[in-house]
Amino acid sequence: MAAADLRAELDSLVLQLLWDLEELESKRAALNARVEEGWLSLSKARYAMGAKSVGPLQYASCMEPQVCVCTNEAQNGLQKFRVVRSGSQIPEEVGPCEAALRRRKGLTRIPEPEPFSASPNPLNWFGILVPHSLRQAQASFQEGLQLAVDMASLQIQINWGQSQLRGLQEKLKQLGLGAA
Amino acid sequence: MAGRGKLIAVIGDEDTVTGFLLGGIGELNKNRHPNFLVVEKDTTVNEIEDTFRQFLNRDDIGIILINQYIAEMVRHALDAHQRSIPAVLEIPSKEHPYDAAKDSILRRAKGMFTAEDLR
């Protein structure tokens, strides 16, 4: 009976793995398409701005990431990635900070809260007015990043599934040897 | 840094790195090493491997994107990486389309079953 339960568990695990692999391949095809679109747009931008105008020479000497990933742990202990974008603004508070009479003379300046330091747009490295193709390239690669993050989560899931599969296969072998 | 999550690193040709940096993943300041490497004609395999290993050992990097033709140069280092984080994703390059047969993840998946398992 234990062997039958193990086989059922093995079957559902294999099905889940195959589904994950199919999902991974479909996301990979989409990522490859986005990246190819991005390269084409970069080439168009180079055509418009000059061959050496879009490349490492234009990279900023100081960069802050606009996109990061956070890991969430699921119930089974699996890590899952989630995209986090910077530049989210804190709503500005309008109105007096303190309930106090304002003085006309010698008004004490209330220090303004520091603005949230949003990372500058990498498009700015290439100039003030950039061609539309460069914006399109940025959009394609941003979509590609979301797909890459999803693929990374799927890869972790597939690796976990493979280790579970090996464990179950081992248990089944031992049961088979024990019965013999 | 702890509050904003992990970085996405990229090792690739000029177009791949420029594209993903445009996407907003780049980090570079005087105190920290960059999270990207542009592989050019004169970039040595040792440099690529050193950078790849540095990215693997950094605890602030969650995902490493690498062109597949560059991954082939450091395949032994990729295959030796068994941890789930950082996740390593192989992507195509302009001159080298993606080949599923070379992908480390898919090669491991291909070896999941033996003929005996399917009896």
In a domain, B112, yes or no: no
Which pLDDT value is given to residue A179? 56
Q: Which residues of A fall within a CB distance of 8 Å from B22? A: 122-123, 134, 137-138, 141
In a domain, B117, yes or no: no
Q: Which residues of A fall within a CB distance of 8 Å from B35? A: 65
How far apart CA B10 and CA B26 sit, in angstroms, is: 9
In a domain, B72, yes or no: yes
- Banded pLDDT at A93 (limits 50, 70, 90): very low
Which pLDDT value is given to residue A117? 47
What are the tens digits of pLDDT across the range A34-56? 999 999 999 999 999 998 999 99
Share of chain A above pLDDT 90, in %: 53
Which pLDDT value is given to residue A100? 54
Average pLDDT value over all residues in chain B: 88
- The pTM (predicted TM-score) of the whole model is 0.83
What ipTM was estimated for this complex? 0.89
Residue B40 vs residues A145, B22, B46, B68, B75: alpha-carbon distances, Å: 23, 19, 13, 15, 18
Q: Which residues of A fall within a CB distance of 8 Å from B85? A: 71, 79, 156
Which pLDDT value is given to residue A27? 96
What are the tens digits of pLDDT across the range A8-19? 999 999 999 999
Q: Which residue would you say has higher pLDDT here, B118 or B37?
A: B37
Average pLDDT over residues B64-90: 93
How far apart CA A123 and CA A135 sit, in angstroms, is: 7
- The alpha-carbon radius of gyration of chain A (Å, integer) is 27
What are the tens digits of pLDDT across the range A98-146? 555 555 555 555 544 444 345 689 999 999 899 999 999 999 999 999 9
- Pairing, β B7-12 against β B87-91: unpaired
| Residue A96 structure tokens | 């007096």
Which of A21, A149, A159 is opposite residue B84, by nearest beta carbon?
Answer: A159
Which pLDDT value is given to residue A112? 45
- Banded pLDDT at A29 (limits 50, 70, 90): very high
In a domain, B55, yes or no: yes
In a domain, B116, yes or no: no
CA atoms within 13 A on the CB side of B103: 19
Question: In chain B, which among 52-111 make CB contacts under 8 A with chain A?
Answer: 62-63, 65, 84-85, 87, 89, 91-92, 94, 98, 100, 105-106, 108-109
Cβ of A130 under 8 Å from any chain B Cβ? no
Q: Which residues of A fall within a CB distance of 8 Å from B29? A: 62-64
Q: What is the CATH number of the domain that holds B101?
A: 3.40.50.10580
Q: Which residues contact A45 (CB under 8 A, 6 or more apart)?
A: A53, A54, A126, A130, A131, A133, A134, A137
Residue B67 has pLDDT above 50, yes or no: yes
- Pairing, β A67-73 against β A79-85: antiparallel
Min Cα separation A66/chain B (Å): 5
Residue B1 has pLDDT above 70, yes or no: no
Which pLDDT value is given to residue B80? 92
Q: Which residues of A fall within a CB distance of 8 Å from B83? A: none
What are the tens digits of pLDDT across the range B36-53? 999 999 999 999 999 999
Instruction: Please name the residue of chain A whose CA is at the shortest distance from the CA of residue B31.
Output: A62
List the helix and strand counts (H, then E) for chain B. Answer: 5, 4
Count of the separate structural domains present in chain B? 1
What are the tens digits of pLDDT across the range A141-179? 999 999 999 999 999 999 899 889 889 888 888 887 665
In a domain, B67, yes or no: yes
Share of chain B above pLDDT 70, in %: 89
Q: How many CB atoms lie within 10 A of CB B88?
A: 23
In a domain, B46, yes or no: yes
Which pLDDT value is given to residue A78? 79
- Subunit contact A35:B5, Cβ cutoff 8 A: no
Domain that holds residue B21: 5-107
In a domain, B118, yes or no: no
